[in-house]
Amino acid sequence: MRESFAIDGSAEHISGGLHSVDIRAKLIITLAASVSSVAISGLYPQLMLFSFSFLYAASMRKVKILAIAYAFIFFIAALAVICMLVINMFVPIMKSASYTSLVIPFLRMATMINVILPLAFTTRIQSVLTALKSLRLALYIYLPVAVMIRFIPTFINDIKQVAETAKIRGVKITPAGFITKPVFMTRLLFMPLLFRSLRTSEELGIAAELKGLGLNDDMTPYKSLEWKGTDTRILIAAALVIVCASAAQIIIGTPEGMRGMP
Amino acid sequence: MLKKLKNHWTVQELVVIGVFAAAAKVLTMFVALAGGGMNPVTLLLKNVIFTTLFVVMLFKVRKTGTMLLFSAVTMLVSMMYMGAGVASLPAMIAAALLGEFFIFAAGGPGKPWAPVIGVAVYDLAFRVVSVFISWLVMRENPALVFMVMPIIGIGYLGALIGLFSGVKAVKELRHAGIVRN
């Protein structure tokens, strides 16, 4: 099975750091960090969550990816400031909207990105599938997920083929075409792919049934997952950070200067 | 109950759900990239394509819970690939549950218009719950949530058009003998 497009082909050979952490630990950290960053609204607790999540992201040792992600966050933040400027200019009721109040939502976003990036860039799809299987997921969840992952590259190829066919017929699929002739372009691309999807699903469904898929629950995984002491320690550290941030939220809360913000 | 669920969908139907989830993901991504981000035309098209595929899939797999399973699978794969969609997971599940309820209320998935009603409710509920979640994340500065309302509106308009194109596509596929029931 092909690994994620988000992962460099050499990822398999990288060891140590977050690459050796169990996928289940990474999933728990991502979920816990996302929930706690939404629940917490104080500046200092958010800063605490952000700092530790940044250390977590930095340990994946992918400076370029992290730099791109932060450039994106700054771009969105700049866009938000411009939006605020427009709102303050044209909507008098929003006059009180403060620029400083943008800090916490963007800290939240940065924390989420800090935990999501290691999950995406240090994990192979095969490990994720094995983790799903180890969670004893039923066939009705596992099979569509496996089919979907397997068919994403196939559909990308199908789109290329349809685009080439259109080219032979004298129609070039370009971004401008989607704006000038949206209905025509969509039909040209969409209908062949719809028919192909249905045919593929019928063929694959028959093949799966002939191979006896779904009849036997005991499948041997290609690589089994191993929970190590490091995974437990990382989870304990993450839990401590969340507990400390929650305590800071209760004790300190929002600083005096930022209270009463809209 | 679990044993009943296990045999609820055939392997062929599960494969159809997986293939359509892949098709929806790739096609919407392709159109979004071709249009270059926040382009209203491609934003509209993206939603037309997603809803059309959703309607066709529900006509092909006419069983209770298909909408919920499709949403769960799409979200699971989105999370696996880029970790994206963690925040929209509750919105999608809530919308799918509501959609399933309306399909049930319309007489079950076997009725002619039930999948269309279900998708219409799903699209609306997903956007409403998403806005609520956005407000929850951006509650310190709710003005930003108002700024994205036109984008959400354009997306919903695309979803509404997708309902009609979905029904039209099903008619064509039925005529071709691909969608049989």
In chain A, what are the domain boundaries?
A: 15-129+226-258, 137-210
3-state helix/strand/coil string of A69-125? HHHHHHHHHHHHHHHHHHHHHHCHHHCCCCCHHHHHHHHHHHHHHHHHHHHHHCCCH
Asked whether the predicted pLDDT for residue A260 surpasses 50, the reply is: no
* Chain A contact for B35 (CB, 8 A cutoff): yes
Q: Which two tokens stand for residue B54?
A: 């959703």
pLDDT at position A9 over 50: no
Predicted pLDDT at A237: 92
Q: Which of A41-45, A67-71, B12-16, B131-135 has the lowest mean pLDDT?
A: B131-135
User: Could A198 and B12 be called an inter-chain contact, meaning their C-beta atoms sit closer than 8 Å?
Assistant: no
Q: What sign does the dihedral A113-A115-A116-A118 (CA atoms) show?
A: positive
Taking residues A47-60, what's their average pLDDT? Answer: 90
Q: Average pLDDT, stretch A166-171?
A: 86
Q: What is the mean pLDDT of residues A43-62?
A: 89
B146 vs A: CB within 8 A: yes
> In this model, does residue A152 exceed pLDDT 50?
yes
A194 vs B141: CB contact, 8 Å cut-off?
A: no
What pLDDT is attached to residue A210?
A: 82
With a cut of 70, say whether residue A170 has pLDDT above it: yes
Token pair for residue B130? Answer: 């998403």
Interchain contact, B23 vs A83, CB within 8 Å: no
Q: Which sequence spans correspond to the domains of chain B?
A: 8-175
Cross-chain CB nearest to A151 (options B5, B18, B41): B18
Which residues in chain B show pLDDT less than 70? 1-6, 33-39, 79-87, 181
- How many CB atoms are located within 10 Å of the residue B123 CB? 23
pLDDT, tens digit (0-9, with 9 covering 90-100), for A239-253: 999 999 999 888 876
What value does the mean pLDDT of chain A take? 76
Lowest mean pLDDT among A2-16, A63-77, A136-150, A209-223: A2-16
pLDDT at A74 > cutoff 60? yes
Q: Cβ contact (<8 Å) for B12 and A201?
A: yes
Task: Kindly identify which residue of chain B lies nearest to residue A159, measuring between CA atoms.
Answer: B27
**Cβ(A193)–Cβ(B52) under 8 Å?**
no
Question: Residue written as tokens 């792919």?
Answer: A193
Q: Which of A194, A211, A213, A217 to mutate to test the interface with B (most CBs of B within 10 A)?
A: A194
Report pLDDT for A241.
Answer: 92
Kindly indicate the confidence band of residue A4, based on its pLDDT and cuts at 50, 70 and 90: very low
Better-predicted residue by pLDDT, A182 or A262 = A182
- Cα separation, B87 vs B29, whole angstroms: 19
Q: Write out pLDDT tens, residues A178-199.
A: 777 777 877 788 888 888 888 8
Query: Is 0.85 exceeded by the ipTM?
Result: no
Q: pLDDT band at residue A8, thresholds of 50, 70 and 90?
A: very low
Query: Are A198 and B2 inside 8 Å of each other by CB?
Result: no
Whether pTM > 0.90 for this model: the answer is no
The predicted pLDDT at position A82 comes to 76
Partner-chain contact A156 B45, CB within 8 Å: no
Looking at per-residue pLDDT, the higher value among A54 and A60 belongs to A54
